[in-house]
Amino acid sequence: MLDAASKAFFQTLSNSHTLKRLASRHGISGPHAFARRFIAGENLDDAIAALREIQAQGLHSTLDYLGESVASLAAAETATQEYLTLIEAVDRAGVERNLSLKLTQLGLDVDRAMCVDNLRKILHAAARCGFFVRIDMEGSAHTEVTLDIFETLWKLGDRNVGVVLQSCLHRTEQDFERVNALGARIRLVKGAYREPRSVAHQLKSDVDAAYVRLARRLLTEGTYPAIATHDEAILAEVKRFAHERGVGHDAFEFQMLYGIRRDLQKALRDGGYRMRVYVPFGKEWFPYFMRRLGERPANVAFVLRALVTER
């Protein structure tokens, strides 16, 4: 795990305007575009082009407009308007209508009521155009408020929305019961955020074991769950369990990140499974990219392993 100094180093890099300017010139375009493999691009046209390519490959997609932890109501309003514009553009383009978003991008850390208003604007616009919206889960400090908001809107009748649960957290078994009782759709992830021992499993084996337990329950008790992992051992176990229990390929889907283990994505597709790709885009890709590297050392090694394994 990263020590405080290492994590602070990555955080400093993510906030560096100088590095961001350099990365903007070389990270997404050019012969050494180190981030383009994992980020669809900086603008909506890039994102829609990526969605078209994914769709042409027989894969599904969800689109994520990058940005989180905004510090002002104005920034939250801007992000909300960007999502409304995105919904209209994707609708016109005729590509798959599926979005993922973070509540701190809509102002959760600034004003909860404003965040809820912004989210409802997006959900209602999305519903008119036939979109499904997934609320991404952020660090454990936001878990309870995220679930509270999700549950409130669900009970108010907003049903074109699902949420994410992280197997690394001790509380997730109870959160599963809470969300699943609503009949809502859950995406299961391991969790990329560095969390303290008091709230999260620290050993990979424990995180993996919790993931498998939850995945099994989702397959037999859940509502069209999304199994989001690149872990080949877990993928094999999920497929084995689903086959054993007679869970059809159309009753759930797998999800993976854009640019990661494209070989596995295609193998799942070829095996008759539904495979959805999480497609991030936007000008805020550099802070996003650096923070992902800084959250856990496994993220750095994972990107390198993914490239080597696929090659």
Strand (E) positions, the chain? Answer: 60-65, 98-101, 132-135, 161-166, 186-189, 226-228, 253-257, 275-281
Tokens of 199: 């709230």
Pick from 58, 3, 109, 77: nearest CA to 274: 58
Tokens of 33: 């575009």
Taking a C-beta distance cutoff of 8 angstroms, is the pair 175, 151 a contact? no
The answer to whether residue 187 is catalytic is yes
What is the chain's length? 311
Q: Which residues contact 252 (CB under 8 A, 6 or more apart)?
A: 218, 219, 222, 224, 225, 226, 227, 242, 274
Helix/strand number for the chain, H first, E second? 12, 8
Which candidate in 97, 134, 187, 276 is catalytic? 187
Which candidate in 64, 136, 175, 208 is catalytic? 136
The answer to whether residue 91 is catalytic is no
Taking a C-beta distance cutoff of 8 angstroms, is the pair 281, 39 a contact? yes
- At residue 54's C-alpha, the angle toward residues 121 and 284, to 5°, is 50
Taking the CB of residue 58, how many other CB atoms lie within 10 A of it? 11
Tokens of 182: 């609503």
Rg, the chain, Cα only: 19
Tokens of 229: 């992992």
Taking a C-beta distance cutoff of 8 angstroms, is the pair 61, 98 a contact? yes
Which residues are known catalytic residues? 136, 187
